[in-house]
Amino acid sequence: MYAIDVMVEEHKNINYMLRVIRENCCGILDGAPVDADEHRKMIDFVRNYADRYHHGKEEKFLFPVMESKLGVPGQSLIRHGMLVEHDLGRAHVADWENALELYEKEPLATHKLDILTGAMGYADLLQRHTEKENNVVYPYGEEHLSVDDKTAIDMQAQEFEALPESKEVREKHLMFLKEMMEKYGVEYSR
């Protein structure tokens, strides 16, 4: 299924960024300064690539069909699992950003701790979340949705991917990802 293949590939990119976030946080624990500009760029990546771009496709194209066509199991899996985790991820990012703003105003250890907590809370959640989607949610959808439903989802995803703004999001954020992977020694493992 085209849409799922694309989203699995995006999960790889998201997980590379999660490894970058982890390396950055470990550096701070080892005494490196908090680079507020870099953290803002990481927040921009997770908000605009991982959430609006990637989760946006799930929430607009795949999940509504799974909820409406797969009965109680589909509804439970999506509403009480994936969508809850998307919202929890957004809360971690908001906490991370708020802590960063507080730290810039007053560089206290408590604010630094909150930066690490928000960033790593997000990274840990999303790492587990992408595993569930790759190993449970996506296969369940592929196995149980009708051919017509899968075709419709694929068409929507292809149209979305072809939009100029989608291409801009990919180019901007994947370029930043590559830069951060090089900086933090995170290697591709495709």
* The predicted structure's pLDDT at residue 116: 99
Q: For the beta carbon of residue 120, count every other beta carbon within 10 angstroms.
A: 18
Q: How would residue 143 be classed by pLDDT, with cut points 50, 70 and 90?
A: very high
CATH level 3 topology of 2-184? Four Helix Bundle (Hemerythrin (Met), subunit A) (1.20.120)
Give the whole-angstrom CA distance, residue 173 versus residue 47: 11
Q: Which of 189, 190, 187 is nearest to 20 (CA)?
A: 187
**What would the mean pLDDT of 162-179 be, rounded to a whole number?**
98
Strand, helix or coil at 116? helix
Residue 78 has pLDDT above 90, yes or no: yes
Q: Which of 127, 155, 164, 131 is nearest to 60 (CA)?
A: 155
Give the whole-angstrom CA distance, residue 100 versus residue 93: 10
Q: Please give the mean pLDDT across all residues of the chain.
A: 98
Q: Which amino acid is at 52?
A: R
CA distances from 61 to 4, 50, 55, 66, 71 (A): 11, 16, 10, 9, 17
Angle at 103 between CA 33 and CA 20, to 5 degrees: 50
For residue 69, is it left (φ>0), alpha (ψ between -120 and 50) or beta?
Answer: alpha
Q: Which of 120, 125, 92, 105 is nearest to 36 (CA)?
A: 105
* The predicted structure's pLDDT at residue 189: 85
Q: How would residue 190 be classed by pLDDT, with cut points 50, 70 and 90?
A: low
Residue 171 has pLDDT above 90, yes or no: yes
Q: How would residue 183 be classed by pLDDT, with cut points 50, 70 and 90?
A: very high
pTM of the model: 0.97
The span from the first CA to the last CA of the chain, in angstroms, equals 19
